[in-house]
Structure 1
Amino acid sequence: MTEARKPIVNLKNLKLEHWQRGSFFESSDVSFGALLGLKDLGIGYGEVPPGKSGCPFHNHHVEEELFIVLEGQGTYRFGNERHEVGPGDVLGAPAGGPETAHHLINTGTVALKYLSISTMAATEICEYPDSGKFLAKTRRPGSPKASFRFIGRAASTTDYWDGEPGA
């Protein structure tokens, strides 16, 4: 018999995972949709230190994201614009091209704390305008983990027929 999931998670009881990459990217965060029994809706909680960002500037072709700022101050970089944000602000990141690229930067003096909520498509393409990369991934419906994941740059494209026997 499987244990029933509780429909409530308290943020202060979550175990955050701290990570850092280079001098600009750092966060303590956790994804917890599965704890609520959610299969196709991602939800996370993050705490980003002053002067840092929790992810590279990126856009999704399929998935949509929503961020709710709980504490702290920051800048929401969205497309070619920058918006100052603080507690109570709700930020949308619809699917699209580079005009919907986004990320949060902590410009305050204390941790920027926020919730992130996203659709979890079975197949997704993300672009990273600052670095020229793209990410292609798939996952089986109901599973939070990617079954296929590739990060590359369009400059390394291959012809459709390249390497095919008899082509």
Structure 2
Amino acid sequence: MVIKYFGKTCALMVMIFTLILISNTVGYGITISESVPGILVLCGIGLGGLTISKAMSRFIKLPSMMYVVVLAVLLSCPISPVQEQVITLTSNVQFMAPTAAMGAFIGISLGKEIKSFAKMGWKYIIITLFVIFGTFVFSAIIAQTVLKITGVI
């Protein structure tokens, strides 16, 4: 079971790697040789976080994304011995390149579930649009406020 899970996760990472590489190269003009090391680091962090999540799911039920984010923060924080390498390598990967890959996967998953979503009724669609819009707007407001307070902008 663990080998099957690890195989599926690695296959997913290969797809994500490819999408990020294409997005980073075509969309931002960063060469493949500059992109590959950073994308490998990001995929390694993702694979590590997912593996930790799978191992910890026996004890604590938390979202996999939490483990990925915590691992990324630990590897890139100032007390980490690999902080400089992680930041240097991943700085060649544009933030929107992984976002484009993530959007593609979200679109695919929504496409599979659109019929069951439509069965819920038009009220749920309106509520969903308000939730998505509100999340986006309030995230932007919070980001703007924090960046102004800290003097970044």
Smaller-chain TM-score bracket = under 0.3
Larger % of strand: which? 1
Which of 1 and 2 has higher RCO (CA within 8 Å, sep 6+)?
Answer: 2
Return the structure number with greater helix share: 2
Query: TM-score, normalization: structure 2?
Result: 0.24
Q: What TM-score, normalized by structure 1, do the two folds share?
A: 0.23
